[in-house]
Structures are given as structure tokens and as C-alpha cells.
Amino acid sequence: MPHVIAEPCIGVKDRSCQEVCPVECIYDGGEQLYIHPDECIDCGACVPVCPVSAIYPEEDLPGQWESYIGKNRSLSSGPNVHRREG
């Protein structure tokens, strides 16, 4: 998974990251946005536009948010997948 959206996104969901993503791999996961790990091309366009600094390359994710690697993966699969709206 090239990039991960972590805890600062919860309750914010600014969507600036969705607007700049060239492959549209950022989706609404309910309480937060998430990056689909198989669709992300690791371009990093989303990182500087996030107003709450919630997006990190997986290898740079702060330790306290490591659980968000699994959370982004689980949100991107299964019956609870939320695709980008309109």
C-alpha cells in the first residue's frame, strides 16, 4: 500500500485529496476517507493538499497510527466498500 490515510481524517473528510488524485483511488469509508491499496500509483499528489496532514506513505506512517494500514485495506474490500460519490 503506497499511501495510507490515518486518524486526523476522522470526522474531517475534506476531499481535496480526491480532487487531485489522478487515478481516483480515494474513497469514502464512513467516518474517514481511505486509499485503495491496489489502485494507488504512489504519486503523492494527495499528501500536500490534505489540510489535516492525514496522508502518509506507508513506510513513513507514525507508529501510533500503524493500525490504519489494516483499516485502509479492510475498507477497500468486502461488502462495506464505499465508492466515491458523484
**How much of the chain is in helix, strand and coil states, percent to nearest 5?**
25, 15, 60
- The grid coordinates listed for 26 are 480515494
Q: Which domains does the chain have, with CATH numbers?
A: 3-75 (3.30.70.20)
Contact 71/36 with Cβ under 8 angstroms?
Answer: no
For residue 76, what pLDDT is reported? 85
Give the CA angle between residues 56, 69, 22 to the nearest 5°.
Answer: 50
Q: What is the mean pLDDT of residues 19-38?
A: 94
Grouping H, G, I as helix, E, B as strand and the rest as coil, residue 80 is: coil
pLDDT tens for 42-77 read 999 999 999 999 999 999 999 999 999 999 999 888
Distance of CA 23 to the CA centre of its chain: 13
* pTM of the full structure: 0.87
pLDDT tens for 29-51 read 999 999 999 999 999 999 999 99
